[in-house]
Amino acid sequence: MPDQEAADPPDQISVHGLRVVGIVGVLPEERVRAQPLQIDLDLYIDLTAAGMSDALADTVDYGAVCDSLNRTVETSQPELLERLAAQLATAVFAVDPRIEGLRISVAKLRPPVPHDLATSGVQITRRRPA
């Protein structure tokens, strides 16, 4: 992860701008109508083998990661984006044991507030649980 002491930072796979639709929010209208969300994800993983072999088997299949993210949003209906981000992180770690850590952002593309606001969101950074 970027703040590791004495170790080189790991390589990174980025998946940005994944658009999904899900139920998340505290307000009554958010509990009954799905809303558009955007997910940005950085995976921390050693890409040395993939760089040498050019083989998908030596890296993380980000298509599978996106499928997992989409499934999690579809089946989860949390009130808070913070909870959804934590659930998404857990789902991503389950995709591939080589993922060392991640940074994930989840944003509501139409926040339900009476202000001129493009998005509202959260970002979390996690290391693989021991």
Q: How far apart are CA 101 and CA 12, in angstroms?
A: 9
Domains of the chain: 12-127 (3.30.1130.10)
How much is the average pLDDT of 74-78? 97
Please state the pTM of the whole predicted model: 0.91
Q: How far apart are CA 106 and CA 124, in angstroms?
A: 9
In the DSSP assignment, the letter for residue 129 is: P
Hey, which residues are catalytic here? 108
Other beta carbons less than 10 A from residue 34's beta carbon:
14
Per-residue pLDDT band at 112 (split at 50, 70, 90): confident
Report the pLDDT value the prediction gives residue 6, as an integer from 0 to 100.
47
pLDDT at 115 over 60: yes
pLDDT at 104 over 90: yes
Other beta carbons less than 10 A from residue 98's beta carbon:
16
Summarised one tens digit per residue, pLDDT across range 23-69 is 999 999 999 999 999 999 999 999 999 999 999 999 999 999 999 99
Report the pLDDT value the prediction gives residue 7, as an integer from 0 to 100.
64
Q: For a pLDDT cut of 90, what percent of the chain falls above it?
A: 85
- What are 1's two structure tokens? 């992860």
Other beta carbons less than 10 A from residue 26's beta carbon:
10
Question: Where is 30: in which H helix or E strand?
Answer: helix 28-32
- What are 34's two structure tokens? 């799905």
